[in-house]
Amino acid sequence: MTQMLASVADAEEALLVARGGADIVDFKDPARGAIGAVEPAIVAQALLALGGAARASATLGDPPYEAQALLERARALKRVGVDTLKLALDGASLAALRAPLAELAREIGLVGMLFADEAPDFDLIPQLAALGFVGAMLDTRRKGQGRLIDHLDIARLGVFCARCRSAGLTSGLAGSLEAPDIPRLLLVAPDILGFRGALCVARDRVAGIDRQAVELVRDLIPRERIADAPNVDWRLLGRGLAGEEEREDDLDRIFVRDFVIHTEIGAYDFEHGKRQRVAFDVEALVRRVGSEPRDMRAIFSYDVIMDAIRIVAAQGHHEFLEGMAEAVAAVVLRHERARSVRIVARKLDVIDGAVGVEIVRRRAAAAAASVPHRLGL
- Residue 363: what pLDDT? 87
Q: Given the residues 28, 78, 143, 347, select the one marked as catalytic.
A: 28
Whether the CA torsion 234, 236, 242, 248 is positive or negative: it is positive
What does the alpha-carbon distance between residue 22 and residue 374 come to, in Å, rounded to a whole number?
Answer: 8
Known active-site residue 28 = yes
Largest CA distance in the chain: 70
Please list the rounded mean pLDDT of every run of 10 residues in the chain (377 residues): 96 97 96 89 96 94 93 96 95 93 97 96 97 97 90 96 98 96 96 97 91 96 60 36 61 96 94 94 92 84 96 94 96 93 96 96 60 34
What does the alpha-carbon distance between residue 155 and residue 151 come to, in Å, rounded to a whole number?
Answer: 12
The H or E element containing residue 325 is helix 321-332
- Residue 225: what pLDDT? 53
Q: Given the residues 78, 86, 143, 347, select the one marked as catalytic.
A: 86
- Residue 245: what pLDDT? 59
- Residue 188: what pLDDT? 95
Domains (ranges, CATH) in the chain?
3-221 (3.20.20.70), 248-362 (3.30.1130.10)
The pTM of this model reads 0.87
Give the pLDDT confidence of 49-75 residue by residue, as tens digits.
Answer: 999 999 999 999 989 999 999 999 999
- Residue 242: what pLDDT? 39
Contact of 326 with 318, CB cutoff 8 Å: no
Known active-site residue 274 = no
- Residue 233: what pLDDT? 38
